[in-house]
Structure 1
Amino acid sequence: MELKEQLNLDKLPKHVAIIMDGNGRWAKEKGKLRVFGHNQGVESVRQAVEAAVEIGIPFLTLYAFSTENWKRPKLEVTALMEILVNAINKETKTLMKNGVRLNTIGDIELLPSSCSRLLLKAIEKTSSNTNCTLTLALSYSSRQEIVEATKHITQRVLDGELKIEEVDEALFANNLETAGIPDPELMIRTSGEQRISNFLLWQLAYSELYFVDKLWPDFNKQDFYEAIIAYQKRERRFGLTSEQLS
């Protein structure tokens, strides 16, 4: 039986988040520059998006570029931005075909103007699509996101728009960049590393974490399905006991 046929379509996560790790190591293993790995990683993005659409997962978030990544060598950062521009140019038609709405979180004002302009154009063009929302975390820092949400809420309290007693988890979540998007039930990280690297710190509070040894350029639909199957075998208790759930 194929992996896809083993999925329980009534027990799919509504939101899957992925830390796409290992492009550089993949290239190094093949004696290539790191940029070669980033280029190859675009195909894995396509595989993950297609897999999500095919089985009916409505939200997919990919950690594409962190604020810490700006510290990488300038040549690599420039190449990454060019890859992003080319990918947006090439893939917008595919997103439209598959009914995928493009979204972004992070400080995209830090991106080169050519990149942010194309990104915003693609977001606008795909805005009416409803099959899946693909969120790219670009120039993203979860700690910074939390700080900015705190500042915004604090200012509203100081301005008299909010009472301190009104500040709760729901209000805080609605001031994050992911407002309106359900928290991920499953977070996948490739390359064998087992950490969340400043990614969706608030949103991942009760997510199932799935770590796979494959480097991102080797990740494909079958790996995506394996992660979903592993998720479906887990008992999600949210602080309760097994007996309480049953």
Structure 2
Amino acid sequence: MTDYGVRHVAIIMDGNGRWAKRRGWPRLAGHRKGAEQIKKIVREAPDLGIRYMTIYAFSTENWKRSLIEVLGLMKMFRFMIRREADALATEGVNLRFIGDRSRLDPALRETMDAIEARTKTNTRLTLAVAINYGGRDELRRAAAQLALDCAEGRIAAEDIDDEALAARLDTVGMPDPDLVIRTSGETRISNFLSWQAAYAEYEFTETLWPDFTVEELTDILARFSGRERRFGGVQP
């Protein structure tokens, strides 16, 4: 195993639709190809020293896409989760989901709950899949929970600090990401892990997600290992 000093990698998997369009295929074909790449990356991640990985599968803004694409993605999510359940459990992956589940189909939510329960004791890799997730929405929900906890006497307003807010985020129990990767050449963070990635390093690659390989991930990790992270401090 090669350890590059990265515990948590977060990935904005962009470019599936463009990958398919360049080949004259429907956008969902790109999403299916992208899902296959996730499997390859997840399988190799622990051997690169990664213990946590968060992937951006569907944002709160993605509902604006065509109904055909949205319904196709939801169907694909459920199919992939059910198909990969045995492999994830065997390979020691703890699968969890972040985001607001209230808008998701009940059958999909049931599938998500089942695999979370099945894999919750696995420790080789924690894989967080962001579905109907947005950083601002997550902060809004956390703030609402804090307000409710204050109103009901579970916490005093003067005791609200970074830890209190973080304990009400979807990623509770996970370390903040060390590195955020975005594929496809875009250089936006797109409302992803707004709180958690405050001090993360970023890498933007022109590669479309379906073409992203373990080799490219390894190259990015190697570059990361040469960076100096000061977290707001000054080099002596």
Normalising by structure 2, what TM-score?
0.96
Q: Does the aligned pair in 1 maintain the 2:48–2:218 contact within 8 Å?
A: no
- State the distance in 1 between where 2:149 and 2:112 align: 31
1:134 aligns with 2:101: no
1:62 aligns with 2:55: yes
The equivalent of 2:208 in structure 1 is 215
Q: For residue 160 of structure 1, report the CA deviation from its aligned partner.
A: 3.0
| TM-superposition CA deviations, 1:149-196 (whole Å, max 9, x none) | 111112222333322221111111111111111000000110010111
1:45 aligns with 2:35: no
Q: Does the aligned pair in 2 maintain the 1:53–1:98 contact within 8 Å?
A: no
- State the distance in 1 between where 2:169 and 2:93 align: 22
1:82 aligns with 2:75: yes
Other structure's SS at 2:61 match: helix
- State the distance in 1 between where 2:150 and 2:105 align: 35
Q: For residue 44 of structure 1, report the CA deviation from its aligned partner.
A: 1.1
| TM-superposition CA deviations, 1:109-168 (whole Å, max 9, x none) | 322222222221111111221101100000111101101111111222233332222111
* Match for residue 92 of structure 2 among 96, 99, 109: 99
Structure 2: gaps of 5 or more residues: none
Instruction: Give % identity.
Output: 42
- State the distance in 2 between where 1:91 and 1:12 align: 28
Other structure's SS at 1:138 match: strand
- State the distance in 2 between where 1:226 and 1:111 align: 36
* Match for residue 25 of structure 1 among 15, 18, 21: 18
Structure 1: gaps of 5 or more residues: none
Worse-matched range after superposition: 137-146 or 161-170: 161-170
**Number of residues paired by the alignment?**
236
What is the identity, as a one-letter code, of the residue corresponding to 2:80? A
Q: CA RMSD in A?
A: 1.3
* Match for residue 188 of structure 1 among 181, 184, 187: 181
Other structure's SS at 1:128 match: coil
User: Which contiguous aligned blocks of 4+ residues in structure 1 show a shift greater than 3 angstroms?
Assistant: none
| Cα 1:79–1:229 shift into 2, 3 Å | same
Worse-matched range after superposition: 164-173 or 132-141: 164-173
Q: Does the aligned pair in 1 maintain the 2:94–2:116 contact within 8 Å?
A: yes
The equivalent of 1:169 in structure 2 is 162
Q: Does the aligned pair in 1 maintain the 2:182–2:203 contact within 8 Å?
A: yes
Q: For residue 55 of structure 1, report the CA deviation from its aligned partner.
A: 2.4
